[in-house]
Amino acid sequence: MQLWSVKLIVKRQNLSIKHSSRIPTMLESNRIRNTTSSFHSHGDHHHSHGDHHHSHGDHHHSHGDKEDDAFRRTVAFNCGLSGLQLLIGAIFGSLALMGDAVHNIGDVIGLLLGWGAEILSNRDPTQRFTYGFYRSTQLASLVNGILIFSGAAVIVLEAIFRLGEPVELTSIPVACASAIGMVVNLLSARMFGNTHQHDLNRRAVVIHLLGDAAVSMVVLLSTFIVALTGWDWLDPTAAIVVGTFVAWSGWKVLKAAIFGLFDNVPSEINIKHIESLLLGITGIQSIHELRIWELGGSKTALTVHLVRDLTIAKNEFNNDNSLICYAQKLLDREGISYTTLQLELDPCYLAYTPTRD
């Protein structure tokens, strides 16, 4: 593509990065030449994050054993709990308890898929997969969402059919299984809460486990009411409530995964704010071709064309490279760590290409 611009190129590990509307690679070095194509911002950022990464090295290792232990215990507890609830629910006729079991099975699958995807996403980029394997976390969420939603749909449909022919419920074993489920989920939430309270992913797991405990509480309460009143229809009604909640949870996971695979702007990023941030830099006249998307694993990427304002003297920045580096630092503060910024003296033809908001 022909460009009427000041073009900068970055090389990392002897691999030239030529102009692209996407991030060409994650392998760079610090050599910068003011000759051709686009500036890949991960150069300086990479090194600044190199130090950042090492500064957390000891911290990571100090918590690694606790995190692994919490993960193993949570998976083991939920596997045992799910089997127990399915067995008791099937034997003693509680669809609500079986719905709770489906929810816990979804948790186990989600934890295992998330764990595997996290391991895969930490692998280094290759010549074929230059972005690395961050997308694996989104694929895991997609599979998990489908499984949770499908299981919940089966429970809800069965509960609707059973409303017409209620089955007599044996309350004591069902209540015991529900109480065990509530305790297990509360203990699991506490274990995860004691590992990384500042980690958003861990916090999400804790919130999810607390939601599971609430579902078990609903089943427990409905079982007590059935025991006191003899209203056998209340169990399938509770199953519909539980199944609907589980289906909604699965749909949210599925929706987020689908949106991520379509390169949506992450929900925590305000694209209008990013535009204002870049346009507020002294020496930038306009911007176009702004693209923001989630790579996966909480990694956000950005590409943009910046048009230089030639009427402003280069008094704040010594050269174009200084301006680019400043823009990178601003974006890094917004949580955007993989950026490709192209500096132009005149807008390229893409600036005049109609786009939809």
pLDDT digits (tens, 9 = 90+) for 42-96: 444 444 444 443 334 444 444 456 666 777 777 888 888 889 988 998 888 888 8
- Model confidence at 204, in pLDDT bands (50, 70, 90)? low
Q: What is the pLDDT of residue 57?
A: 40
Report the pLDDT value the prediction gives residue 46, as an integer from 0 to 100: 43
Residue 14 has pLDDT above 60, yes or no: no
**Upper half-sphere CA count for residue 313 (Cβ side, 13 Å):** 1
Residue 98: what residue type? M
Q: What is the pTM of this model?
A: 0.64
pLDDT score of 271: 93
CA angle (186 as vertex; 184, 188 as ends), nearest 5: 70
Kindly state the average pLDDT of the residues 216-234: 87
Task: Count Cβ atoms below 10 Å from residue 80 Cβ, excluding itself.
Answer: 13
Average pLDDT, integer, range 104-124: 79
Confidence band (pLDDT; 50, 70, 90) for 316?
low
* Cα-based angle 238, 239, 243 (whole degrees, multiple of 5): 120
Of 94-103, 191-200, 316-325, minimum mean pLDDT range: 191-200
Sorting pLDDT into bands at 50, 70 and 90, what band is 318?
low
Average confidence (pLDDT) over 207-235 = 85
Which of 127-141, 322-336, 341-355 is the most confident on average? 322-336
The residue to which tokens 């599971």 are assigned = 212
SS3 345: coil
Which pLDDT tens digit goes with each residue over 227-279? Answer: 888 888 888 888 888 888 888 888 888 888 888 888 889 888 999 999 999 99
Domain regions of the chain by residue span = 9-53+266-352, 67-261
Query: Read out DSSP for 47-78?
Result: HHHHHHHHHTHHHHHHHHHHHHHHHHHHHHHH
Helices (H) and strands (E) in the chain, counts: 9, 7
Q: Which tokens is 88 given?
A: 């008791």
DSSP conformation class of 15: E
Burial of 1 (0-12, 13-18, 19+ CB in 10 A): exposed
Which of 49-53, 79-83, 316-320, 335-339 has the least mean pLDDT? 49-53
> Predicted confidence band at 179 (pLDDT cuts at 50, 70, 90)?
very high
316 vs 252: which has the higher pLDDT: 252
Q: Residue 121 CB: number of other CB atoms within 10 A?
A: 20
Higher pLDDT, 147 or 206: 147
pLDDT at 4 over 60: no
Q: What percent of the chain has pLDDT over 90?
A: 13
Fill in the DSSP letter of residue 198. Answer: T
- What is the predicted pLDDT for the residue at 65? 60
Write the DSSP assignment of 256-291 as a string of letters. Answer: HHHHHHTTPPPTT--HHHHHHHHHTSTTEEEEEEEE
Alpha carbon 53 to chain centroid, angstroms: 20
Q: 9-53+266-352: which CATH architecture? A: 2-Layer Sandwich (3.30)
> Reading across the β-sheet that carries 9-12, which strands appear in turn?
15-17, 9-12, 31-33
Asked if 218 and 79 touch (Cβ cutoff 8 Å), the reply is no
- Cβ neighbours for 185, distance < 8 A, ≥ 6 positions apart: 104, 209, 210, 212, 213, 216
Residue with tokens 């150069």: 43
The CATH fold of domain 67-261: Alpha-lytic protease prodomain-like (1.20.1510)
Give the separation between CA 333 and CA 228, rounded to whole angstroms. 58
pLDDT at 110 over 60: yes
